[in-house]
Amino acid sequence: MLCPAVTARGRWGISAYQWPGVVWIDTQDGGSGNGQIDLLASTDGGSRTDATTYPLSSVIHHRINALEATEFNRDQPGADVAAGDYAILVAMHVAGREIARWTWQTFWWTPTPDDPKQPSSQVLAALRPPQLKGAARNYAMSIGYEMTSPGQPNVGGQNAGAALYVYNPYLEARFGAANLPDSLPGYDPSGSAAQNNVGVACNCMSCHIRENYNPNHLASAPQYAGARYTDLNDPQFAGTLQVDFLWSLPEIAN
């Protein structure tokens, strides 16, 4: 799944709309950015400095053609995208159906690729292979192959142990408790008691394992949740159809 692409017109563009800090991207490949961000983020560019500007080549990008511009503007009225604008890859979720509970990994561009912020880490950054070069090396990663540590079995496990927080700052971080109604109190990654009911306490697997097609609108059916354990045979699934970890299926099929 490819997520928020932000376009730039002219030489400089701002990287995202919902964050207090931004970086500037130079479409002519200038900029000496090396970890700095612009906390003023004036839309006229007045607050931009060379140190908060990064070359376009440091970001995975694509030049939009006329057909793409038309489709983009149709999907997002008001976006005002034109052929020749740049789309940049800010964040991307990747899920793989390689094991019963799938593999979950997410990536986002970071100005500090060797020292990415949570939920990534220096340990994960150090695991990037040398073959990963250029723009692709500037993305932080967070991975979730389990809901808790130590991992629990697919069925018959418990919401015990430390939760694993795995989320994308650009996608899940904004969720509040109201978005995650089936959250369950447990422990944070350090083992302290935690509510685990907000976006920065999410785990991909914990939310996607709860997917179900619920044509009868049973109130008992599983809903979105923060980081927690869910049994693949949880009685909450009774009367619903589990759709193998893809929320898009039940949400579009109706």
Q: Measured in whole angstroms, how far is the alpha carbon of residue 127 from the centre of its chain?
A: 19
Of the candidate residues 95, 136, 184, 200, the single one contacting ligand HEC (CB under 6 A): 95
Binding mask 166-205 for ligand HEC (x = CB under 6 A): xxx---x-------x---------------------x-x-
Of the candidate residues 27, 52, 58, 106, the single one contacting ligand HEC (CB under 6 A): 106
Contacts with 227 (C-beta within 8 Å, 6 or more apart), sequence order: 147, 148, 163, 164, 165, 166, 186, 196, 201, 202, 203, 206
Q: How far is the CB of 251 from ligand HEC (least distance, A)?
A: 5
How far apart CA 217 and CA 202 sit, in angstroms, is: 25
Of the candidate residues 50, 233, 251, 253, the single one contacting ligand HEC (CB under 6 A): 251
Tell which residue, 136, 170, 165, has the closest CA to residue 3: 170
Q: Is 93 in the site for ligand HEC (CB under 6 A)?
A: yes
How far apart CA 51 and CA 46 sit, in angstroms, is: 14
Instruction: CB nearer to ligand HEC: give 22 or 204.
Output: 204
How far apart CA 106 and CA 143 sit, in angstroms, is: 6
Q: How far is the CB of 220 from ligand HEC (least distance, A)?
A: 18
Given the rule CB under 6 A, which of 28-36, 80-88, 129-137, 160-168 is the region that contacts ligand HEC? 160-168
Q: Is 92 in the site for ligand HEC (CB under 6 A)?
A: no
